[in-house]
Structure 1
Amino acid sequence: MGYSEPAVQRPVYWTQACQDLMQRDRILRKLIPVYGQECVQAQHGPYQTLIRIIVGQQISLALGRKLWRQLVQACGQDLQPDCILRHSESDLRAMGLSLRKAQYVLDAARFFQQDDHRDPDWWQAQDDAAIMARLCDIRGVGRWSAEMFLIFFLRRPDVLPLDDTALLKAISHHYFSGEPVSRFEAREVAQAWAPWRTVASWYLWRSMDAAAVEY
């Protein structure tokens, strides 16, 4: 099953979320107008999104983009599981992936060989908890990766990725004058953002680094 990239459009909840967040939060009241015409975008289909997330785990954004380009060069822009599975671990390592990531990419490809998993509508029909549980069954996919999938593919409105170092850095910068921030402190700050924690997180990412907000 192929996938054509959707036209960019704002999630239906985005405008309301921005209004609510600007009323509740002094930092977001300043940030949102600066980037108000932008929003989280679903750049790829479910398989492509998850592969890009896996490839980008625990490495720099520049290296993650480079490795992604290598995979696209090998399998085309419409990167599909069947193409990935025609490559061995050695082939993927020759493209620059570590052994672990090569294994994770192949495991994800096997998972997405099931037609329903490649169907965006199938994912849209699942709730957040079910998606987290299903994705975390794939080797190499943990909570952070599943949360990125919820945000950047499904654009769910209320995801708070406290394992994301870029988000913690943004919270530290804007709310704690650059002092280190714990997950507990970040969660306390984010209480005022519910049920729009995805939107708040996105604007905080965007304020620090535009390249950090796409998968």
Structure 2
Amino acid sequence: MNEMMFEVNPPYNFDRVLERLSLDPLNCVNQGERWVKIPYYGEQDEVITVQALGDTDYPKFKIFFSENSNREAQSKHIHHIFKWDTALSDIQVHFLKTDLKPIFEKHLGTPLVLEFNPYASIIKSIIHQQLNLSFAHTLTKRFVEKYGRYKEGVWFYPRPEEAAEIPVEELRELQFSQRKAEYVIGFSEKVASGELNLEELSKKSDEEIIKELVKIRGIGPWTAENFLLFALGRPNLFPKADIGIQNAVKKIYGMDRKPTIEELEKWSFSWHPYLSYASLYLWRSIE
């Protein structure tokens, strides 16, 4: 197995990352030994292991690759997933001058970690729509374990062309609703046929991506914003309609009611151009 060492500019709290990743039962995480195995979707399925060696102030990592893997491409992918090229110190300094100072001090060095694969990210969001988190994870796990692939302790989502061929009746047997089953299959058909190219889509602006995605049956603004945040890592997104965001802001400002959209717009003005990090830390503050 090939391996390489990498240092990240502080602050960077990988233990917070592992904590979040461990919430998804499909992820292969060891918080004690501080590593996670990442599915790499290439021509061949490969597994990359990322292990933390340092701490928040001196973040160091060891990356383990499969033999004969494309280390350059896979290293770039890992950097993107874990946002190792993002200067969290600049973001921290910015928010210490705002009303969000307390939560940024408490959750110092929490990065915006991405989903491992853009297609899988949308499939996961579609499955999670309008479900409580526990059953959402259960349903996603059933889907991936039945139609995906397993390698070295890691689950891979089915490829679009595989999911596009699943009969609706089979998903109904897993407790998918009729509509949700149709949404998963229909979205997969668009990706498999090339009608929707996620790589090309990712090069467009936030507004263009949302406009394109919400045309697809089963994808609304919530799923589109989720894609921008957790598949692409766009830095300046603030889903004002999100209940978690509203509850976190209500708590921070000591309100006896949920904030209005107008209030959220006013307070978030000083959080630009890092609204995505404001969103992330607000969610963390109530978890």
Q: What TM-score do the two structures reach when normalised by structure 1?
A: 0.86
Deviation digits for residues 13-34 of structure 1 (CA, Å, limit 9, x no counterpart): 54322221221x13x2111122
Give distance in 1, aligned partners of 2:132 and 2:140: 12
For 1:8-157, what aligned pairs fall within 5 Å after superposition? 8-10=82-84, 12-23=86-97, 25-26=98-99, 28-76=100-148, 77-114=156-193, 117=196, 120=199, 122-157=200-235
Q: State the aligned residue count.
A: 206
Unaligned runs of 5+ in 1: 210-215
Unaligned runs of 5+ in 2: 1-39, 49-76, 149-155
State the Cα RMSD in Å: 2.2
Give distance in 2, aligned partners of 1:140 and 1:119: 16
Confirm or deny: 8 A CA contact 1:2 1:78 kept in the other structure. Answer: no
1:196 aligns with 2:274: yes
Which deviates more from structure 2 when the two are superposed, residues 146-155 or residues 108-117? 108-117
CA 1:12/1:123 → structure 2, altered by over 3 Å: closer, same or farther?
farther
Confirm or deny: 8 A CA contact 2:168 2:182 kept in the other structure. Answer: yes
Larger Rg: 2
- Structure (1 or 2) with the greater helix fraction: 1
Residue type of the partner of 1:43?
E
Provide the secondary structure at the position in 2 that maps to 1:15: helix
Confirm or deny: 8 A CA contact 1:43 1:49 kept in the other structure. Answer: yes
For 1:168-187, what aligned pairs fall within 5 Å after superposition? 168-187=246-265
Question: Which consecutive segments of 4 or more residues in structure 1 shift more than 3 A?
Answer: 1-6, 114-120
Percent of aligned positions with the same letter in both sequences? 24
Give distance in 2, aligned partners of 1:109 and 1:142: 16
Q: What TM-score do the two structures reach when normalised by structure 2?
A: 0.66
Structure with more contact order per residue of length (Cα contacts < 8 Å, sep ≥ 6): 1
Confirm or deny: 8 A CA contact 1:82 1:109 kept in the other structure. Answer: yes
Give distance in 2, aligned partners of 1:20 and 1:131: 27
Give distance in 2, aligned partners of 1:161 and 1:133: 15
Give distance in 2, aligned partners of 1:95 and 1:202: 32
| CA deviation after TM superposition for structure 1 residue 118, in Å | 5.6
Give distance in 2, aligned partners of 1:17 and 1:134: 30
Provide the secondary structure at the position in 1 that maps to 2:96: helix
Give distance in 1, aligned partners of 2:281 and 2:84: 14
**What's 1:212 paired with?**
none
